Amino acid sequence: MSDTDARVHAQYEAYPYPARDPRDEAKRLITGSPSHLDEIRHYVFAGRLDLSKPFRALVAGGGTGDAAIMLAQQLADAGAADAEVVHLDISSASHGIAMKRAEARGLTNLRFADGPIERVAEIAPGSYDYIDCCGVLHHLDSPEAGLKALAGVLKPEGGMGLMVYGTLGRTGVYPVQEALAQLSDHLGEKERVALAKRLVAGLSKTHWLKRNPFVGDHLTGGDAGLYDLLLHPRDRAYRVDEFAGFVASGGLAIRSWIEPARYDPDTYLSDPGLRKAASGLDPVARAALAERLSGAMAKHIVYALPAGRADLPVPDPGADGAVLVLRDLDPVAVAKGLSGGVLKADLGGAPWQAPLPAIAPAIVARLDGRRMVADIRDQLKPGDPTRFADHVRATFAAFHAINRMLVRAVH
Ligand SMILES: C[S@@+](CC[C@H](N)C(=O)[O-])C[C@H]1O[C@@H](n2cnc3c(N)ncnc32)[C@H](O)[C@@H]1O
């Protein structure tokens, strides 16, 4: 183990990340991207994940358990009788918290494996239908070797959810990390935190860290958040094109950036001439342009498939047998809030909107995650079934752009 590896290990033993209290499991389930079961079904399995069959997921560098707990709970709720989530980490303190969270929920579909990603093939041998690696690869000595190790235990018909830091959205972080390294390298973990707090408090209000609203772990994440953001012994960030190259280096193809609209230059361009100029760019170049125009991307989340699955068809949300779901939203409440024929969102400070057909509220109100599109059509009795299918597609396109509507199943 290198000195830096030892320091990374010591950090996560002293400050398991993110800070979590197992007692809070009684109050709420933390959900997010990647690895929400509805996202996995849509992005990785195109709506065709059969949970009556065995399903194995690996959460690599799972920390205090957010993704593993979310996925294990969602699999249990979905009645997946033969599903297992393996939580792999180097930090026994993090394992301890994740285990207590699982206990608090009575989850029996989680298993814990102790050791580094680089040795996953011996510590938690594959093969996995799905692998989560969120906020970890950018801390490894060789992110490429880590990704390859994970790809080596992924089923050819599986997929991954990945998150790495974004360079532009983390403006201001790295100069402060470097300053703290200059001043605190000889100190122990706790002294470093105290010194970092004093240094941050004294920064001028014009320093980029203070002006950047897209990083806040040092303000809201407790000492673990402050350490992770500003004192980490090893972290790097990626621009969109670097990340795309990195994903490809693991033999993977990006299925989708999350949320898709953030990576669409049209979100940031209203001038028709500029939109036209951007329209000729290839998909990665368009996403890279969006990153430049946004400035808000402090992290990049993607779903990625083995390159051999890159041509997996995208499910048709207008098909009779499609079951659509609003991710973590109450359909009736959302339908009530829709007005003016548009869906609006704020994407890192960029105002975004998409048109909705007049029938959208009636469709949305019925998306309970069980009804098929054909059932909804039978209830609404629209005149023309072909036009209805197009209205469903338009409604889906609007919500899906912000990752709020997904194809849960295709019958
Ligand atoms: C920033 S935390 C992310 C935790 C979790 N994935 C999340 O998003 O909440 C990074 C985690 O990766 C773990 N880690 C760091 N290097 C690792 C390695 N080489 N193999 C396995 N886990 C590692 C750390 O112990 C820590 O729990």
DSSP string, 66-123: HHHHHHHHHHHHTT-TTEEEEEEES-HHHHHHHHHHHHHHT--SEEEEES-GGGHHHH
Closest CA to 168 of 283, 256, 269, 300: 300
When pLDDT is averaged across residues 155-169 and rounded to a whole number, the result is: 98
Q: What is the pLDDT of residue 340?
A: 84
Ligand 1 lined by 377 (C-beta under 6 Å): no
Q: Whose CA is nearest to atom 19 of ligand 1?
A: 116
Alpha carbon distance, N-terminus to C-terminus of the chain: 50
- pLDDT above 90: residue 50: yes
Q: Whose CA is nearest to atom 27 of ligand 1?
A: 63
CB 333 within 8 A of CB 206: no
Looking at the domain covering 3-165+238-309, what would its CATH class be?
alpha beta
The atom of ligand 1 lying closest to the CA of 133 is 6
Q: Quick check: helix, strand or coil at residue 154?
A: strand
d(CA 20, CA 99): 12
How is the chain split into domains, by residue range?
3-165+238-309, 168-231, 322-410
* Residue pLDDT, tens place only, 324-376: 999 999 999 999 999 889 999 999 999 999 999 999 999 999 999 999 999 99
Ligand 1 lined by 61 (C-beta under 6 Å): yes
What number of CA atoms fall less than 13 Å from residue 205's CA on the CB side? 0
Ligand 1 lined by 17 (C-beta under 6 Å): yes
- pLDDT above 90: residue 289: yes
pLDDT band at 276 (very low <50, low <70, confident <90, very high): very high
Q: Best of 86, 90, 119 to mutate for ligand 1, by most ligand atoms within 8 A of CB? A: 90
Q: Check residues 189 and 93 and name the one with the higher pLDDT.
A: 93
When pLDDT is averaged across residues 45-57 and rounded to a whole number, the result is: 98
Ligand 1 centre distance from Cα of residue 285 (Å): 30
Ligand 1 lined by 228 (C-beta under 6 Å): yes
Mean pLDDT of the chain: 97
- pLDDT above 90: residue 1: no
Residues in the chain: 411
Q: What is the pLDDT of residue 384?
A: 92
- pLDDT above 90: residue 397: yes
d(CA 115, CA 129): 20
The atom of ligand 1 lying closest to the CA of 116 is 20
* Residue pLDDT, tens place only, 236-251: 999 999 999 999 999 9
Token pair, residue 45, equals 């399995």
d(CA 190, CA 63): 20
The atom of ligand 1 lying closest to the CA of 11 is 25
Burial environment of residue 111 by CB neighbours within 10 A (0 to 12, 13 to 18, 19 or more): middle
- pLDDT above 90: residue 185: no
When pLDDT is averaged across residues 190-218 and rounded to a whole number, the result is: 96
Q: What is the pLDDT of residue 299?
A: 98
- pLDDT above 90: residue 383: no
What does each C-alpha distance from 328 to 31, 303, 306, 331, 376 come to in angstroms? Answer: 8, 19, 28, 9, 20
What number of CA atoms fall less than 13 Å from residue 276's CA on the CB side? 3
Ligand 1 lined by 66 (C-beta under 6 Å): yes
| Residue % of the chain over a pLDDT of 90 | 97
Q: What is the pLDDT of residue 253?
A: 98
| Residue % of the chain over a pLDDT of 70 | 100
Ligand 1 lined by 388 (C-beta under 6 Å): no
Q: Best of 36, 64, 134, 136 to mutate for ligand 1, by most ligand atoms within 8 A of CB? A: 136
Q: Whose CA is nearest to atom 12 of ligand 1?
A: 61
Q: What is the pLDDT of residue 182?
A: 96
Ligand 1 lined by 89 (C-beta under 6 Å): yes
Task: Answer positive or negative: Cα dihedral of 209, 212, 216, 217.
Answer: negative
- pLDDT above 90: residue 110: yes
Ligand 1 lined by 91 (C-beta under 6 Å): yes
pLDDT band at 126 (very low <50, low <70, confident <90, very high): confident
- pLDDT above 90: residue 116: yes
Ligand 1 lined by 62 (C-beta under 6 Å): yes
